[in-house]
Every structure is written in C-alpha cells, then in structure tokens.
Chain A
C-alpha cells in the first residue's frame, strides 16, 4: 500500500471518528474545523477544483498582464506630448500623412483610456461576453483575457506615461544626438529607465488585475472565486470554500510582491 492511499485513509478514518459527534451535534471546535476542511477540501478530491480554478486565474492573469503591458505601453507612447503634437515636418522622419495618422491615434488613445477607466470592469466584461462574442462560441478564458487585458491597458498606459515623463529630457537628447531614431531612443534608453521608476505602481496594477479576474465568475468562467463558490453550492459551507480561495489568492499576490521587490532591488544597483 503506497503512502498516498494510506494518508487518504487516515483522513477517512478521522471522518468516521467524528460521525457520532455530527449525528449528536456535539462537535468541539477542532472537530468542527476538521469537518469543514474534510467536506470542502478533501471529500471528492475538491482540492483539485481549487487548483484548477487557481490555474485558470493564473492563466487569465498572466495573459491579461501581457496584453495590458503591450497595449498600455503603445497607448502611453501615443499620449506623449511630442507624439501628440507631431508636426510631420521639420524633423523629417515622418511624412505628413504618417503624422496625421499618429495624431488621430493619439486622440483615440486618450478617448480609450477615459472610457476604460471611466466604466466598471464588470460592465466591460458583460459587454464583451454577451455583446461582442454573444453569438460566437469562444473560450471563456480568451474572453477573460481580452476583457481584463483591454481594461488593464488603460491603467498601465498612465503608469508607463508617468514613468517615461520621469526620465530626464537629456536622456532623449543624448540618444538622438548619437543618431539613434526616436523609436530606438525610446526602446533602448527611455523605456528601461521608465520601467524602473514605474515598477512599484506597476506591481500595484498587477495585483489589482489578479484579484479583479474574479469578476469573470459572472460569465461562468470557473476561475478561483467561481471554484470556491461552486463548492459552497455543494457543501453549504458559507465560509470555508471562500477562505480557501482567498488564501490561494493571497499566496499568489505575496509571491508576486516578493518577486517584484527582488527585481526592484536588483535594478536599484545601477541607481544614480
């Protein structure tokens, strides 16, 4: 008999041991605690459901962060004063038509950020799920990534824009004076420095995003919150399933905070 089977049988054994107490309603605190844990975590391998939910939460969060970072950075660059007021002449690196398009995109970026930050995420999720993909069969995970990613991009854009504007103007001038194009200066010189100063605010945004994916339970995506809720509907325990879900969120967020803290300390080594 291997160890795993034996340990399960121990849990079963304890469960059997408290049955008389359950019948007579005479459980003490510890027995009651065990009863809750057994019903909500062990019985029917329910812990697997939490882990699957956690997996979905991590998957949605990871790709949403990716979408948010990428789109948010583009939005941030479009919102920079030098891009907003691009003339398309006088510098000679953009034809006039290009300048018109860039200015249009810049206006759109401002509009987009206002809409996304000005309306509830839940509403956006519902619109994307029932409105845009209402008649199309689409994986809920993808819908979740689109909704959370598009929303997060608006917040990331403002964080990145703040980071970019905190980099001294002389850095851009030094890059341009060497002959680097505006785009290369942005990629090699400005963004790495902007990322450093934006890191704490960015960490905040990632944490918010991970927790906000719980809203996706509204569109029947079985992520961590929905997994807990589902178990509650089977066991009628009002606390335990949510607390288990909550602990798992906490572990994820604390791990992320720790990792970003480490990254921050490493980046600080080159501080001026």
Chain B
C-alpha cells in the first residue's frame, strides 16, 4: 500500500439551522490511497455528515477538504469534476426509478466521460456480471430486491471509474438476509485496492476489512486506529461504552 494522501480534511465544522446544531466540531483526518477507512459511532455523532462533506453534498461551515491536492471547499473549484472521481453509495440506494438498470449505470459515463453508448454499456455489463446481476440489465429498480438495488448502486458508481468510494450506511436499510451480499461486493472492492470510506454499523465488516477505524461522537473524532486497537483495546471511555453496547 502506498502512503500518498488522497483526501485531507482539516478542522472541518458543519453547523445546521444557523449554528443551533453543530454536527461537526472540528474534524481532522487523512485518507491514504488504497486505504479502507470505516467510520463508526452512535446516531447523531456526525459520521454521515463527515462523509457527505468529503464530496461536498454538505457544504462545510468551516475548515477544508483537500482531494488530490485541490481544496474542493474553494468556491472556484468545479466540484462536479471532483465528484466524478468520488463514487457514493447511499443508505436508500437512490437508483433512478424511471430508468432501466443499464441506463442508471450508463447515464453519467455517457454525459460526463463522453463515452459512446456501446462502450458505456459494455463496461456496465462487465460490472453487472461481476456482481451477478447481468440478467437484470433491462429491469427497472422497482423490480429488484433491496440487496440487488444496493449492489447496482455500487456498480453504478464504479462505472465512473472513481478514485475513492464513499459508503453512507450501505446496509442499514436492508433486510438482514441481504446484508451479506452487499458486504461481499464491498469486500471484493477493498481487496482490489479501492480507496474506501465507509460509514456503517456493521462491526464485523469493520473488523475484517478496515485498515483503520475512526470512532466519532458529538462531532469529534474520539479515537482512531487499526481494528484491533479500536475493538480489542479501546483507550477512550466513550469508545469503550459504545462498543459495549453494540458488540
């Protein structure tokens, strides 16, 4: 694993409702290329907000997010260009219901990477085969199960050939028996060396796949380290308290 830093976050703050709610209160973190970072923490700890600030779905109130050397919080930066390189997977899948699976996957590559339809479809079909859903290419999202939808959402993001993948609680809206199939795709992706930032409640996944685990609470990073350090030898009382409740 190389050690160059792909995302660098400095003193990030995010306030909602004119400062009444402080979701992030000064977060500093670096994500290395090829690293799998899992962010855990109780509800309302700011972990999703942190993730959504990385591709500016939330505009930070203070602080900077630097991606591949460019400060994307600078208004002059074309954020769309940066988002092309940062895939995102949402809790509620957010597939486009009025398009077939194939069209869901080829829309952005055709519009943004100027790919020809045939090329975009070839890439999409290859990815669909990898996640075992090639036969659903012409189905609509409404005809798929939750697990299938989320696998499609992952490969839809991969169609843009991103440098980083952001996962916002990708298994939280799934029936328990469908969690595994989604986590398997994510594990495979991690093994291929994809840089991943994952917000999740799946502690098993964190322990198995993460290079680094970040524990957040009340808008701060409380503790970070390898899965062993965090899960087996947590130093902070709040981390210990949280892990006691979820494990």
Contacts and interface: CB of A to CB of B under 8 A. Distances in A.
Contact of A179 (B76, B77, B80, B142): B80
Interface stretch (A24-32, A71-79, A88-96): A88-96
A228 to B, nearest CB: 43
Contact of B107 (A92, A177, A188): A188
Given A92-B78, A270-B140, A272-B141, A179 B96 contact: no
Contact of B112 (A89, A90, A178, A269): A178
Contact of B160 (A173, A176, A179): A179
Interface string B97-141: 110000000011001100000000000000000000000000011
Given A170-B90, A178-B108, A179-B108, A92 B81 contact: no
B98 A196 contact: yes
A179 to B, nearest CB: 3
Nearest to B78: A92
Given A177-B90, A181-B80, A270-B142, 5 more contacts: A173-B88, A178-B156, A178-B160, A179-B112, A179-B160
Contacts of B85: 179
A92 B76 CA distance: 5
Interface string A101-131: 0000000000000000000000000000000
Contacts of A269: 140
A90 B53 CA distance: 12
A177 B83 contact: yes
A263 B140 CA distance: 18
Contacts of A93: 78-80
25 contacts: A90-B59, A90-B73, A91-B75, A92-B76, A93-B80, A171-B94, A174-B88, A174-B90, A174-B96, A176-B83, A178-B87, A178-B107, A178-B108, A178-B112, A178-B156, A178-B157, A179-B80, A179-B160, A180-B107, A189-B96, A192-B98, A193-B98, A270-B140, A271-B142, A272-B142
Interface residues of B, number: 39
Given A188-B107, A272-B141, A178 B84 contact: yes
Nearest to B79: A92
Interface string B50-94: 000001110100000000000001111111111111111010101
Contact of B97 (A173, A177, A180, A193): A193
Interface in A166-205: 168, 170-171, 173-181, 184, 188-189, 192-193, 196
Contacts, number: 91
A176 B57 contact: yes
Interface string B137-156: 00011100000000001001
A92 B55 contact: no
Contacts of A270: 97-98, 140, 142
Interface string A147-183: 0000000000000000000001011011111111100
B97 A90 contact: no
Interface of A: 89-93, 168, 170-171, 173-181, 184, 188-189, 192-193, 196, 267, 269-272
Contacts of A267: 98
Contacts of A180: 80, 107-108, 111-112
Contacts of B88: 173-174, 177
Contacts of B79: 91-93
B149 to A, nearest CB: 10
A261 B111 CA distance: 32
Contacts of B84: 178-179
A93 B3 CA distance: 32
A176 B59 CA distance: 13
A93 B88 CA distance: 20
Interface centre among A92, A171, A177, A184 (most CB of B within 10 A): A177
A179 B81 contact: yes
B112 A92 contact: no
Given A91-B59, A178-B84, A170 B94 contact: yes
Contacts of B92: 168, 170
A269 B84 CA distance: 31
Contacts of A168: 92, 94
Contacts of A179: 80-85, 108, 112, 160
A102 to B, nearest CB: 15
A83 to B, nearest CB: 16
Nearest to A189: B96
Nearest to B103: A188
A188 to B, nearest CB: 6
Contacts of B166: 177
A91 to B, nearest CB: 6
Contacts of B156: 178
B75 A90 contact: yes
